[in-house]
């Protein structure tokens, strides 16, 4: 076999190392991957808990200053910091203890988590409605950036007989014409496997593009399904009453200020 440093002995030693299964490259990489997967799952589990809590209470995620040196980095990160104090394993695998490119705290990641929850809520709503009928509630207005946004809500009666109103989407529309709104509503309903044929009620405000007798959204949907009953939105009626009362009974001259 030759000396210890002979080519034969060196080849035999390398062959023995290769035959040791626990030291094989693929085994070592697989073991390392499993460890990283466990760490990531623990990190993801805590993030989901934080997102679910903030969504349930309806609180904002971000903060004004989310830098490491900030005293208040926003509710998402601050709640995450509080939870990680309860477990050494979680503490060692979240925030600054995790890789800088895998901390799950960026605004993009937070929005993705929210979208996943939204998809689950929509799926639950679709299953709750099933093949039953529902009512359509729609309103549109411009946001601070002057973009037109349309909110869509579905009203239905669940299997237990309770009336529910579920917000299913906020859609950006290029204009507020009745045809544009109808097409946007159709896209939302189609994406949620719903159709105009199941609509039995419509609720909008009194704007001409919504309840107009000629080309309003109400008429366009009635052309698709003539069983959809239109009801002027009660919230909008109340708003009109409050505005009218406020204008009628304005501040009178000589009236004393109530403290």
Alpha carbons 217 and 202: distance in angstroms, whole number: 10
| pLDDT higher than threshold 50 for residue 259 | no
pLDDT band with cut points at 50, 70 and 90 for residue 1? low
pLDDT confidence of residue 133: 92
Q: Which residues contact 91 (CB under 8 A, 6 or more apart)?
A: 84, 85, 97
**Cβ–Cβ under 8 Å, residues 171 and 182:** no
- Nearest alpha carbon to residue 204 among 237, 166, 171: 237
N- to C-terminal Cα separation, the chain: 106
Q: pLDDT tens, 91-133?
A: 888 888 877 778 888 889 899 999 999 889 889 888 888 889 9
Please state, rounded to an integer, the average pLDDT across all residues of the chain: 83
Q: Which residues contact 82 (CB under 8 A, 6 or more apart)?
A: none
Q: pLDDT tens, 12-50?
A: 777 777 666 666 666 666 666 777 788 888 888 899 999
Q: Where do the domains of the chain lie?
A: 7-105, 129-246
pLDDT band with cut points at 50, 70 and 90 for residue 53? very high
Q: Please give the model's pTM, rounded to 2 decimal places.
A: 0.66
- Nearest alpha carbon to residue 176 among 214, 143, 217: 217
Q: pLDDT tens, 137-181?
A: 888 877 777 788 888 999 999 888 899 998 888 889 888 888 999
pLDDT confidence of residue 27: 63
Q: Which residues contact 75 (CB under 8 A, 6 or more apart)?
A: 54, 59, 60, 61, 63
Alpha carbons 224 and 78: distance in angstroms, whole number: 50
Q: pLDDT tens, 54-67?
A: 999 989 888 888 88
Alpha carbons 136 and 167: distance in angstroms, whole number: 10
Q: E strands within the chain?
A: 134-142, 148-157, 163-173, 199-204, 229-232
Alpha carbons 232 and 211: distance in angstroms, whole number: 8
| pLDDT higher than threshold 70 for residue 252 | no
Q: How many CA atoms lie within 13 A of 49 on its CB side?
A: 15
Q: pLDDT tens, 196-238?
A: 889 999 988 877 888 778 788 888 888 888 888 888 877 777 8
129-246: CATH, from 3.30.310, 3.30.530, 1.10.3470, 3.30.420:
3.30.420
């Amino acid at each position: 076999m030759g000396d210890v440093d002979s080519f034969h002995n060196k080849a035999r030693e390398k062959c023995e190392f290769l035959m040791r299964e626990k030291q094989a490259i693929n085994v070592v990489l697989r073991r390392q991957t499993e460890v990283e997967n466990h760490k990531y799952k623990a990190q993801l589990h805590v993030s989901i808990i934080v997102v679910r809590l903030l969504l349930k209470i309806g609180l904002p995620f971000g903060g004004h200053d989310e830098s490491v040196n900030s005293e208040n980095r926003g509710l998402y990160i601050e709640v995450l910091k509080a939870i990680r104090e309860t477990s050494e394993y979680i503490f060692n695998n979240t925030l600054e203890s995790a890789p800088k490119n895998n901390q799950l705290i960026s605004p993009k990641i937070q929005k993705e988590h929210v979208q996943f929850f939204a998809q689950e809520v929509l799926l639950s709503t679709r299953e709750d409605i099933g093949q039953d009928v529902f009512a359509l509630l729609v309103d549109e207005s411009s946001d601070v950036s002057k973009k037109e946004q349309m909110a869509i809500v579905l009203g239905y009666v669940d299997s237990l007989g309770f009336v529910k109103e579920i917000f299913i989407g906020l859609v950006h529309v290029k204009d507020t014409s009745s045809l544009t709104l109808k097409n946007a509503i159709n896209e939302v309903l189609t994406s949620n496997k719903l159709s105009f044929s199941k609509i039995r009620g419509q609720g909008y405000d009194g704007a001409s593009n919504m309840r107009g007798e000629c080309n309003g959204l109400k008429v366009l949907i009635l052309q698709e399904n003539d069983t959809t009953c239109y009801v002027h939105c009660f919230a909008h009626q109340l708003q009109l009453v409050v505005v009218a009362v406020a204008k009628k009974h304005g501040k009178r001259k000589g009236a004393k200020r109530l403290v």
